[in-house]
Amino acid sequence: MKFITKRKWTFLALTMMSILFISSHTPYQKQDMKPFFKGMISIEEGDLPPITFTYDGVLVTPSAPYQYVEFFLRKGAHVASFAVLAFLCIKAVKEFKRSNAIFLGSIIAFLYALFDEFHQSRVEGRTGHLIDVFVPDTLGIVLTLILFSIFSRTANAKEPRR
């Protein structure tokens, strides 16, 4: 228990990694959100922006509205999850009094993103895509890195000079 109170951010970062690991270990069929949406709301192609593109060899198009919405929710979850993980990793590294905590915490989150996609590639019913690491995961990490940098400068500017 002493570890948790002394290294609460480290504990929270490891907890977040565990949550991501469990989520990545769950087959896609058990995470499919389309039936839930179909039972809750009616979405038609005209309700969505007319943007079609290919993501890692898969066509993302509003002509398949439930898949389209699910795609953006899943990628948004990647951004949010890895933004939170980066935040927790940065705070955890700061617990060890490292002066380069923002950089190291971001690197740890990025390395975990790589591990997470590798892990997914080994789970039956899941696929690992490096593009997920380099687009949504990295976006979440970079957003956190930028916010930490901005707030660190603001905090340092407010400190009285000696």
Radius of gyration over every alpha carbon of the chain, rounded to an integer in angstroms: 19
How many domains, the chain? 1
**Which residue reads 């970062």 in tokens?**
13
Nearby residues of 16 by Cβ (< 8 Å), 6 or more positions away? 81, 84, 85, 88
Instruction: Indicate the pTM of the whole model.
Output: 0.88
Q: Which amino acid is at 89?
A: C
Q: Which domain holds residue 42?
A: 2-158
C-beta atoms surrounding 105 within 10 Å: 27
In this predicted structure, the answer to whether residue 56 has a pLDDT above a threshold of 60 is: yes
Specify the higher pLDDT residue, 99 or 142.
Answer: 142
* Residue 131 structure tokens: 């593009």
Longest CA–CA span in the chain (Å) reads 63
In this predicted structure, the answer to whether residue 3 has a pLDDT above a threshold of 70 is: no
CA distances from 3 to 7, 8, 10 (A): 6, 7, 9
